[in-house]
Amino acid sequence: MQSRNTLRFTALALALSSPSFAFAQNDDAKNLDNVVVTATRTAITADAALAAVEVIDRKEIEQSTARSLPELLRGRAGVTLVNQGGLGKLSTLFLRGTESDHTLFLVDGIRVGSATSGLTSLQDLPLEQIERIEIVRGPRSSLYGADAIGGVIQVFTRRGQGGEGVRGRARIGAGSNGYREASAGVDLRGTRGGVGIDIGHQSTDGINACRGIGAPQYAGCGMDNPDPDRDGYRNNNASLRADFKAGDAWQFDAHALRARGHNEYDGDPAWGLPDNSDLLQQVIGGSVRFDASEALVLRLTLGRNRDDSDNYLGASFANRFLTTRDSATVQGDITLAAGQLLSLGYDWLRDRADVQDPFSPFDAARGNRAAFAQYQGKFGAHDLQASLRRDDNDQFGGKTTGGIAWGFGFADGWRITASHATAFKAPSFNELYYPYYGNPALRPEAARNSELSLRQERDSWQWQLNAYRNDIDDLIVYDTAIFAANNIETTRIRGIELVASTQVGGWDIRGQLGTLDARNLSTGINHGKRLPRRPQRSARIDLDRDLGDFGVGISGIAEAARWDDVANTLRVGGYGTIDARASWRFAADWTLQASLVNAFDKGYETSAYYNQPGREWGLSLRWQPK
């Protein structure tokens, strides 16, 4: 009973921090256990979503023994991770074959990511500070605007759980390659709210990240003979949170996440390129929610993301990339009738970049204003969702996107859904202005996506099959013909995903399988070539078993070969790895965990010329009172 109450409290807390909770409420309290908010910007249950949604909760995070967000997301349906040398090194994510800057990342509802590179530093978001992750595959520009061509991934930081009182937690760990970690947190909750703080440290001596290109050409690590040293990493982080409910109508929420780190990598002194960086990721946000009536919920959200990288060659300053993202949202959710919800909202965003670079420093800023509307309706066994958004960008003018989705549920837990949506992305500041790369003549990217899904959910098993096609015009890539970023006329991405889970003989089994065909259809020498860094096939399977005070698990991840360049001349081979884990709860509040990653010491790469770690072990001790 205590476990079920905890799950319900967590779901309720997440829902109350969302734009609307009213639409998720019904007589069946168990639906509180799987509330999601990212797919529609309102609180709904995962099984009611008309999109491909995956939720990773705190229990699964801890059970996985993953040390970083990229490690946790590896091999999941539609997700391709490209890593440049192990823990803490640059990790880019390709969702459903779209570009690495086509996935919108949110932290507690706040848009994050670098305005210069267009990327989110996944490797620097500390996993110990994360309570829950929601992955929505498929375009969401009609709700969130630019960047959501491939989908949206939202990270929710730690939240206080349980009833009134004081609750603490702590963890220490060590492992291969000089790995060290420590974290601790405390929550204080009263009848109307609470406060909490978590702090953490993570560091590693690293591996020799760059194996070298073996030829005097600029590619991969960018050098013929890189330094044969270890490339270390460290991350010190903290999160703060507070919430307060004033009466029955008003609720206030504030949160902050800060991660400061240092990263080492191989540079090239001949070019004056840096070989280490001081990093900062910071997200600060707050919200006010007003339940005006049973039929109207209003919410104001404010936030700022700061992405800062100070880069050095040895101890000498090389350059700095500092960007800030300020955002504000006003949203109203109107219950028109039972099962009929209308959401109206206004988004404001301001990106700023301060680049200090000896080649070509620049300052840039631009704003974006948008109005959006969404209708969600339930008509017996049928569900309908329609959304429309108009963005006004200072640099590129107006852009309208829309989406429509339909779902139908029938006997024995079967459900079919179909959707079509448009999306877009404005070029990043680096794509426009950075020396020897930027092109001020770039056009925004535009996409059209259609999807058909079939799923079945029963008490002991469930599965979902998704088929999609995404046509992207003016895709931005680096063009060696002009030595700058350029627009590709048109690309086509087609894929199929199969996700299933069941329980057999006491084992929890989860499997994910994907196929992908992502091609350049523009006229010219690269017509028909596959888009780089997208494997055609990928798979993941997780098996876990609870044996009372003991737990064991195994994960297998496999990806087919891929090309690392637009001309399809540089091949990166496929690979498969096996990870194992075990846990022992030797006292009521104490758990010992052990992990063995890449158990068979497979040598492989996900990006050309960058090594991946071999076999690695880990051991951790967690204190977490019930």
- Residue 545 reports pLDDT greater than 70: yes
- Residue 467 reports pLDDT greater than 90: yes
Write down the pLDDT at residue 271: 67
Instruction: Give tens-digit pLDDT for 253-283.
Output: 999 999 999 999 887 666 677 889 999 999 9
Write down the pLDDT at residue 149: 96
Contacts 24+ apart (CB under 8 A), 476-482: 476/99, 476/427, 476/431, 476/442, 476/445, 477/566, 478/437, 478/566, 479/566, 480/566, 480/567, 482/439
Question: Count of CB atoms within 10 A of residue 508's CB?
Answer: 15
How far apart, in whole angstroms, are the C-alpha atoms of residue 303 and residue 467?
A: 35
Q: Which residue do the tokens 């995070």 mark?
A: 61
Mean pLDDT of 518-543: 93
Q: Which two tokens stand for residue 371?
A: 């109005």
> Going by C-beta distance under 8 Å and a sequence separation of 6 or more, which residues neighbour residue 498?
77, 463, 464, 465, 466, 511, 512, 513, 514
Closest among 371, 370, 372, 376 to 342, alpha carbons compared:
376
Indicate the range of 60-69, 207-216, 311-320, 587-596 predicted with least confidence.
Answer: 207-216
258 has which bridge partners?
238, 282
How far apart, in whole angstroms, are the C-alpha atoms of residue 17 and residue 24?
A: 13
**Higher pLDDT among residues 411 and 11, named by residue:** 411
pLDDT tier at 222 (50, 70, 90 boundaries)? Answer: low
Closest among 313, 324, 320, 308 to 357, alpha carbons compared:
320
3-class DSSP assignment, residue 22: helix
Rg of the chain over all Cα atoms, to the nearest angstrom: 24
- Residue 379 reports pLDDT greater than 50: yes
Question: Count of CB atoms within 10 A of residue 338's CB?
Answer: 7
How far apart, in whole angstroms, are the C-alpha atoms of residue 135 and residue 20?
A: 19
E strands, 314-361, are: 316-337, 340-356
Question: Count of CB atoms within 10 A of residue 482's CB?
Answer: 9
Concatenating the DSSP letter of every residue in 497-549 gives EEEEEEEETTEEEEEEEEEEEEEE-SSSTTTTPBPTT--SEEEEEEEEEEETT
Range picked from 119-123, 360-364, 384-388 for highest mean pLDDT: 384-388
E strands, 120-275, are: 130-137, 151-157, 165-175, 179-189, 193-204, 233-246, 250-264
pLDDT tier at 228 (50, 70, 90 boundaries)? Answer: confident
How far apart, in whole angstroms, are the C-alpha atoms of residue 244 and residue 254?
A: 9
Write down the pLDDT at residue 20: 40
In angstroms, the Cα distances linking 464 to 75, 334, 500, 510 are 17, 31, 6, 12
pLDDT tier at 535 (50, 70, 90 boundaries)? Answer: very high
Write down the pLDDT at residue 214: 57
Write down the pLDDT at residue 412: 87
> CB of 67 within 8 A of CB of 50?
no
Q: How many domains does the chain have?
A: 1
| Parallel/antiparallel/unpaired status of strands 103-107 and 91-95 | unpaired
pLDDT tier at 82 (50, 70, 90 boundaries)? Answer: very high
> CB of 609 within 8 A of CB of 210?
yes
- Residue 12 reports pLDDT greater than 70: no
What mean pLDDT is reported for the chain? Answer: 90
| Containing structural domain, residue 318 | 2-623
Write down the pLDDT at residue 219: 45
Instruction: Give tens-digit pLDDT for 100-142.
Output: 999 999 999 999 999 999 999 999 999 999 999 999 999 999 9
> CB of 313 within 8 A of CB of 275?
yes
> CB of 508 within 8 A of CB of 545?
yes
> CB of 125 within 8 A of CB of 73?
no
The greatest distance separating any two alpha carbons of the chain, rounded to the nearest whole angstrom, comes to 69
Mean pLDDT of 414-436: 93
Half-sphere exposure of 322 (CA within 13 A, CB side): 8
pLDDT tier at 288 (50, 70, 90 boundaries)? Answer: very high
How far apart, in whole angstroms, are the C-alpha atoms of residue 244 and residue 255?
A: 12
- Residue 19 reports pLDDT greater than 60: no
Q: Which two tokens stand for residue 262?
A: 């240092």
How far apart, in whole angstroms, are the C-alpha atoms of residue 409 and residue 380?
A: 9
CA torsion, ordered 251, 303, 327, 447, to nearest 10 deg: -100
Q: Which residue do the tokens 């078993």 mark?
A: 545
- Residue 364 reports pLDDT greater than 50: yes
- Residue 300 reports pLDDT greater than 90: yes
CATH number at residue 149: 2.40.170.20
CA 155 from centroid of its chain's CA atoms: 7
Name the strand (E) or helix (H) holding 472: strand 461-479
Closest among 514, 529, 402, 515 to 477, alpha carbons compared:
529
Amino acid at residue number 229: D
CA torsion, ordered 354, 358, 360, 363, to nearest 10 deg: 10
Q: Which two tokens stand for residue 135?
A: 């992955």
> CB of 381 within 8 A of CB of 409?
yes
What would the 3-class secondary structure string for 41-110 be?
Answer: CCCEEHHHCCCEEEEEEHHHHHHHCCCCHHHHHCCCCCEEEEECCCCCCCEEEEECCCCCCCEEEEECCE
Write down the pLDDT at residue 270: 67
How far apart, in whole angstroms, are the C-alpha atoms of residue 571 and residue 82?
A: 14
How far apart, in whole angstroms, are the C-alpha atoms of residue 106 and residue 238?
A: 18
